[in-house]
Structure 1
Amino acid sequence: MKYTLLAWFCLLFFCRSGFGQEPVQYTPNKINQFKFVPLPAIGSNPANGWMFGLAPSATWYMGNPENTKLSNLVGNILYTTKKQWIFSVRSNIFLSENDLILVGDWRYLITSQPTFGLGSSTPNDPTQDPSFREPPGVLWGEQQMNFRLLRFYETILKRISTSNWYLGLGYHLDIHSRIESFLNEESQAPEGVFTHDAYNISNGFDTERYVLSGFTLNAVYENRDIPVSPYERNFALISYKINPTFLGSDQSSSTLLLDYRHYFNLSQTRKRHILALWGYGNFLVNGQLPYMNLPSLGWDMFSRSGRGYPQGRFRGESMLYSEAEYRFPLQKGNETFGGTVFLNANSFGNEFNQEKLLESVNFGYGVGLRVMINKENRTTITADYAFGRKGNSGFYLNINESF
């Protein structure tokens, strides 16, 4: 508990020193000055443990603030208590009058995380041949993995007339390398083939390195008032990804990603009373994907899905995810402190062990505290504790709302 309080104190101190400034007075038709804040970072989640380092951020306007949304860029240079290194840059850039949106997700990870097998029914503890699934001789349950990931995603979206609809193209590259599977020393499971290795071998992929390179066709509806912390309206994304071998993929494949978010304002006088809903689907359409590129819990752009479970806890060729969250203020006349309660559900299907989508559903739920450190753009520190099935749980400390 003392470490949590210490982390909160440090984070609040640094965030207020970086963001606690007077509101900027914008001049019409003048592009706002670029602002850069080299913010110290403290975070936590089950997959990484505690994270320490820098989270430099930048905000600016590419046009008149009256008709152009705020552009933002957030970086991470982090070291974790699980001996991982995380380097990332994620950006949303709105050009003048929101005519174009540039979305970037660049990462280099020297990391590790557990994997539990495929589908929604995988056990927590390692076992060789569970009665509920084939093929035999494959390890199911918790297995550790070390790996490196180089990711480069960049998308350009063009506004359709004066509407909130955008169409665009993107390029996506993932290179997983130095992959090593192993069991914890305390695990007493019999020897067998690791799920990652068994799946990759059966589908013709290497077990130590693989590449997924492709382009996306995207349609986006962006109608949120402030994307990082919306009070109202909605957002939708349809993304069809094609991974041909001539762009470097080990095998050809295609996937479909669907993402919809809606924010219902429950009070006209206190707009922080919000019911937020999130629906997310990720599906393999044709071909085969390497194991770590399969749809997985917690691998959305900002790694916010699946509170209550570690990142990668469930994985499969098809994924459905939904979440409902009630957000509310904790003060009568001030917006600094807020709270939340949430419930999420996920289901995965795959052919490898013949589990169908929605055959099994896993739920997560929890509560959270919110501290708004910049009311102008609603920059918020979020702290959540969530519970999942069969003893899964986790503490999550982040910047900005989960969705």
Structure 2
Amino acid sequence: MKQKLLIILLFTFLGNIYGQNNNDTPNSKDNKKIKIIWLPVLASNPANGFMFGVAPSSNWLIGPAETTSYSSALGTLIYTTKKQFLFFLKGSVYFKDNKSILMQDVRYFKTSQPTYGLGTGDGSNTLASDGFEYEDGNYSAGIDEAQMMKFNFFRLYETYFKRVNDKGFYLGLGYHLDIHSNIEDELLDQESDPQVITSHYAYSLKYGFNPEKYTLSGVSANALYDTRDNTVSPYKGMYGLVTLKVNPKWLGSSKSSSTLWTEYRTYFNLKKERPRNLLAVWAYGNFLLGGDLPYMDLPALGWDQFGRSGRAYPQGRFRGQSIVYTEAEWRFPLQREKERWGGVLFLNGTSATNKDADINMFENINTGYGLGVRFMLNEKSRTNICLDYGFGNNGAHGFYLSVNEVF
């Protein structure tokens, strides 16, 4: 999907925020208060029309700054001229002395989104573009364009971690609920001759899902390792997460399944006297271990906790039974002595599978690259306003506005 995104930043507004936070100190009582930054968002794209709303965010401390990481929360509240509503609230709460962590992800969308079949590479949409044999000798018409879908989506993820040693290692349990409802395949046409069968509809019928509604409900066991010096804009340290999720039918899932999520981040300082000059590396994999997942719940680009992966591509552009993503970003200051302004250069790659079209992992890799600028609102918490522009394969591109570093 071609994206035409216009974002208006009010720098006088940002300057006012900077003036309010500039005198904070690490031990200041003000740091324990929740300060909300309200970013205005104006945007348009073919899927949503004109969008307007707010993107609130906040960073705060629950315990002493010397022993407690900054908690963070990011939200979005958007309405579009196509009568779509988008709400999410995602956060990580670090309790006193980092003894425990609560991660949460709550979303409600009444929206539309294109899908492109499963897998990566030029053959990722082969099954739909060549058509389906829906009866003996009868084939559906091919689909070579983005397959737009309308749906309602509700997500509730809650994961609690408890520290088990003083070296940054945690164990945790979680509950995860995803509900897709009122699903409409806009290109699906079973009355035409030949019929037009979408990837979503064909997949749902083949694997036994109701193409109009499905639920994924499961519990997870988690292991976390986190030695980052700052959770919103790290200069050093490592982050690792392993999540084994089981989605039994008796807990409400449409069909039983199990998945594995693995994630790793690390940061390399490139200039000792300028800690902001660094190389950041991020990689994750999301794998279907057993059973079957609904189409829209299959591992997909841009569906990590904070929705930051895949700059250059729309959310969900690549989807499959399993997906692997990696990204490297060079972060550097733009001022000779001060840290207020910074820049980034990034490169990412995505590979996804499609067992129905014999597309295996790493057989095809779709890449994205781009650059961005950073404005640091608060030097103590390192809260950044981030504006990026990314380019991808086959003409994909887009602007991205966010608070805090991408990873």
Normalising by structure 1, what TM-score?
0.89
User: Among 377, 381, 392, which residue is 2:385 paired with?
Assistant: 381
Greater CA drift, 12-21 or 360-369: 12-21
User: Among 279, 284, 287, which residue is 2:288 paired with?
Assistant: 284
For residues 14 and 252 of structure 2, what CA distance do their matches in structure 1 show? 42
Aligned twin of 2:111: 111
Aligned twin of 1:14: 13
Please report the RMSD computed on the Cα atoms of aligned residues, expressed in angstroms: 2.8
For residues 339 and 14 of structure 1, what CA distance do their matches in structure 2 show? 21
Aligned runs of 1:87-166 on 2, under 5 Å? 87-121=87-121, 128-130=128-130, 137=140, 139=143, 141-166=145-170
Cα separation, partners in 2 of 1:127 and 1:242, compared to 1, 3 Å: closer
For residues 75 and 291 of structure 2, what CA distance do their matches in structure 1 show? 34
For residues 246 and 43 of structure 2, what CA distance do their matches in structure 1 show? 34
User: Among 204, 212, 216, which residue is 1:200 paired with?
Assistant: 204
Aligned twin of 1:41: 40
Aligned twin of 2:328: 324
For residues 336 and 366 of structure 2, what CA distance do their matches in structure 1 show? 36
Maintained 8 Å contact 2:347/2:367: yes
Maintained 8 Å contact 2:232/2:383: yes
For residues 316 and 114 of structure 2, what CA distance do their matches in structure 1 show? 7
For residues 158 and 202 of structure 1, what CA distance do their matches in structure 2 show? 41
The count of corresponding residues between Structure 1 and Structure 2 is 393
Aligned twin of 2:253: 249
Amino acid at match of 1:317: Q
Aligned twin of 2:355: 351
Cα deviation digits, residues 214-261 of structure 1 (max 9, x gap) = 011100111111111111111110001100111100111000001101
For residues 174 and 387 of structure 1, what CA distance do their matches in structure 2 show? 30
Cα deviation digits, residues 87-127 of structure 1 (max 9, x gap) = 11112111111111001111111111110101113579999
Cα separation, partners in 2 of 1:31 and 1:99, compared to 1, 3 Å: farther
For residues 385 and 133 of structure 2, what CA distance do their matches in structure 1 show? 44
Maintained 8 Å contact 1:43/1:398: no
CA-CA distance at 1:4 after TM superposition:
8.4
Aligned twin of 2:182: 178
For residues 349 and 315 of structure 1, what CA distance do their matches in structure 2 show? 8
Q: Percent identity?
A: 46
Maintained 8 Å contact 1:102/1:155: yes
Do structure 1's residue 308 and structure 2's residue 309 form an aligned pair? Answer: no
Secondary structure in structure 2 of the residue aligned to 1:20: helix
Maintained 8 Å contact 2:70/2:232: no
Cα separation, partners in 2 of 1:31 and 1:243, compared to 1, 3 Å: farther
Maintained 8 Å contact 2:49/2:81: yes
For residues 78 and 255 of structure 2, what CA distance do their matches in structure 1 show? 33
Secondary structure in structure 2 of the residue aligned to 1:246: helix
CA-CA distance at 1:34 after TM superposition:
2.2
For residues 292 and 383 of structure 1, what CA distance do their matches in structure 2 show? 28
Cα deviation digits, residues 102-154 of structure 1 (max 9, x gap) = 011111111111101011135799995439x9996364541101111110000
For residues 60 and 403 of structure 2, what CA distance do their matches in structure 1 show? 18
Cα separation, partners in 2 of 1:57 and 1:307, compared to 1, 3 Å: closer
Aligned twin of 1:296: 300
For residues 130 and 380 of structure 2, what CA distance do their matches in structure 1 show? 53
Structure 2: gaps of 5 or more residues: none
Secondary structure in structure 2 of the residue aligned to 1:173: strand
CA-CA distance at 1:54 after TM superposition:
2.5
Secondary structure in structure 1 of the residue aligned to 2:97: helix
Cα deviation digits, residues 148-195 of structure 1 (max 9, x gap) = 1110000000101212000000000000111111149xxxx9752111
Amino acid at match of 1:41: P
Maintained 8 Å contact 1:38/1:54: no
Cα separation, partners in 2 of 1:397 and 1:60, compared to 1, 3 Å: closer
For residues 50 and 272 of structure 1, what CA distance do their matches in structure 2 show? 36
Greater CA drift, 170-179 or 374-383: 374-383
CA-CA distance at 1:384 after TM superposition:
1.4
Maintained 8 Å contact 2:128/2:198: no
Structure 1: gaps of 5 or more residues: none
Secondary structure in structure 1 of the residue aligned to 2:40: strand
CA-CA distance at 1:24 after TM superposition:
3.0
CA-CA distance at 1:338 after TM superposition:
1.3
Do structure 1's residue 339 and structure 2's residue 340 form an aligned pair? Answer: no
Maintained 8 Å contact 1:43/1:396: no
Secondary structure in structure 1 of the residue aligned to 2:91: strand
For residues 88 and 145 of structure 1, what CA distance do their matches in structure 2 show? 20
For residues 362 and 48 of structure 1, what CA distance do their matches in structure 2 show? 25
Secondary structure in structure 2 of the residue aligned to 1:174: strand
Amino acid at match of 2:324: L
Amino acid at match of 2:77: I
For residues 82 and 314 of structure 2, what CA distance do their matches in structure 1 show? 13
Secondary structure in structure 2 of the residue aligned to 1:7: coil
Aligned twin of 1:85: 85
Do structure 1's residue 268 and structure 2's residue 281 form an aligned pair? Answer: no
User: Among 239, 242, 247, which residue is 2:243 paired with?
Assistant: 239
Aligned twin of 2:71: 71
Cα separation, partners in 2 of 1:280 and 1:102, compared to 1, 3 Å: same
For residues 367 and 30 of structure 2, what CA distance do their matches in structure 1 show? 46
For residues 202 and 50 of structure 1, what CA distance do their matches in structure 2 show? 36
Aligned twin of 1:222: 226
For residues 248 and 220 of structure 1, what CA distance do their matches in structure 2 show? 27
For residues 114 and 282 of structure 1, what CA distance do their matches in structure 2 show? 21
Aligned twin of 2:364: 360
